[in-house]
A = this chain, B = another copy of it.
């Protein structure tokens, strides 16, 4: 639903929002922050370079009805209660926030007087995980990534026979998901290079990132009651960026027959803001069409509306900042860029598949899309793909090279949603610095 909150002519009286790459008034993502004075974590909304404190705004009586319900649900240390409410109250709160922050809104005078109490500079706040993650599921929906990595293991048969029928996924580790900015300790584990007769234990030698879209689950379903694809959208609360840090040597040795475990469970980084499904409405595009040689999705994964609007016009980028670049005062070096059209499956197909066996989703569950990679190297979403498993090192600007991540390297994911005639919106960065093994 596209409404007045998306109006490209709407600007905010918070000047930093206008023209902001991530958080113009057309975005209004939710997150959890601690204010500069060190108060308790609470819900907030990013607007330009500021965070609007939802608890303070609710206390000031700025909301009524469903918008007040949503603001109160978002006032605590985790947004799960807001996510549980579903899109009705969330949309009401969004509309009210958009009106309050509108440069030409009728209540500009009223809220302007409260600005000191309501607003905090974003870069002086601590940002937290937006929700307590009950379960984290990682999909494998980037078909080119599945092909590229499959080729490393199975050159003649990169894509397995189930790929175009099943939205393949595995359960991830919820406890080790951390917000952007938390350093990432290099994991140790069992490593068994092919030329070694037995494994040994030590620090990962082939640490990698994976660029993914994160998806926040809204109300969810009761156990035993699948979510039909036509109703899946109501259970998608919003989006973030996700770095599925991966220890390739640990993974290669451990993953048969039950899939990735310690190779992924040491750390997953997400961006701090829930960019709502509402904010994303203008950026919906047709889902990836099926080729003539590709099977139609099974009926439980087929929906005309999802086919027409299940795609997302988002472009993602990965950048790397090495210690040498940091010392030289260089900007991060862009490694790749890719669009969400890299996904073979839509988010609605993921929701419907996940619950098709009766598995229950809960508010605050998190999905990863799977690594986003395009057809050419400039669009690959991991170093394993960019360096062909380490065989072809990357050249960096100052003559440095990388096969995999080294200690001190920082990986920075960013993304922007764009559409003709619309104000672009972003996600905020998803970043993490690699620390040496403990």
Binding site for B on A (CB under 8 A): 134-135, 140, 150, 153, 160, 162, 165-166, 168-176, 178, 185, 187-190, 192, 198-201, 223-226, 247, 250, 253-263, 265-267, 295, 298-300, 353-354, 356-362, 365, 438
Partner of A261 from B170, B256, B358 at Cβ < 8 Å = B170
**Contact A178 B223, beta carbon cutoff 8 Å:** yes
Specify which chain B residues have a CB less than 8 angstroms from the CB of A153 in the assembled complex: 257
Closest B residue to A437 by beta carbon equals B358
B residues near A267, Cβ cutoff 8 Å: 223, 358
Distance of A365 Cα from B173 Cα, bound (Å): 11
> Once bound together, how far apart are the Cα atoms of A8 and B198, in whole Å?
47
Distance between A183 CB and nearest chain B CB, rounded to angstroms: 9
CA A360 – CA B258 in complex, angstroms? 20
User: Is the CB–CB distance between A298 and B356 below 8 Å?
Assistant: no
Q: A166–B223 contact, CB under 8 A?
A: no
B298 touching A201, Cβ below 8 Å = yes
CB <8 Å contact, A265 and B171: yes
A162–B354 alpha-carbon span in the complex (Å): 30
Minimal Cβ-Cβ distance residue in B for A370? B258
Looking at chain A's contact residues, the main secondary structure is loop
- Decide if A165 touches B190 in the complex (CB within 8 Å): yes
The smallest C-beta distance from A166 to any residue of chain B, in angstroms, reads: 5
| CB atoms of A201 and B356 under 8 A apart | yes
4 closest A-B pairs by CB: A259-B259, A187-B357, A171-B171, A185-B224
- For residue A174, which residues in chain B have a CB less than 8 angstroms away from its CB? 134-135, 174
A160 touches B256 (CB 8 A): yes
A348 to B362, CA, bound (A): 31
A258 / chain B contacts, CB cutoff of 8 Å: 140, 168-170, 259-260
Q: How far is the CA of A183 from the CA of B358 in the complex (A)?
A: 13
Judging by beta carbons under 8 Å apart, are A175 and B357 in contact?
Answer: no
Q: Take A173-B135, A265-B357, A356-B262 as given contacts and tell me if A254 and B168 are in contact as well, using a CB distance cutoff of 8 Å.
A: yes
Residues of B near A259 (CB, < 8 A) are 170, 255, 257-260
Q: Nearest chain B CB to A16's CB is how many angstroms away?
A: 34
Given contacts A254-B168, A258-B260, A359-B262, contact A299 B201 (CB under 8 A): yes
* Chain B neighbourhood of A359, CB < 8 A: 173, 175-176, 262, 265-266
What residue in chain B is nearest A296 (Cβ atoms)?
B198
Chain B nearest Cβ from A296, distance in angstroms = 10
CB of A71 to closest CB in B, whole Å? 27
| Docked pose: A266 CA to B185 CA in angstroms | 34
In the complex, residue of chain B having the shortest beta-carbon distance to the beta carbon of A361: B175
CB-defined contacts of A200 to chain B, threshold 8 Å: 298
Evaluate contact between B185 and A223: CB separation under 8 angstroms.
yes
A223 engages B176 (CB within 8 Å) = yes
Are B298 and A190 in touch, CB under 8 angstroms? yes
Q: Would you call B362 and A166 a contact (CB within 8 A)?
A: no
Tell me the bound Cα distance from A256 to B190 in angstroms. Answer: 22
| Bound-state Cα–Cα, A224 to B266, Å | 7
Q: Which residue from B173, B178, B185, B188 sits with its C-beta under 8 Å from A171?
A: B173
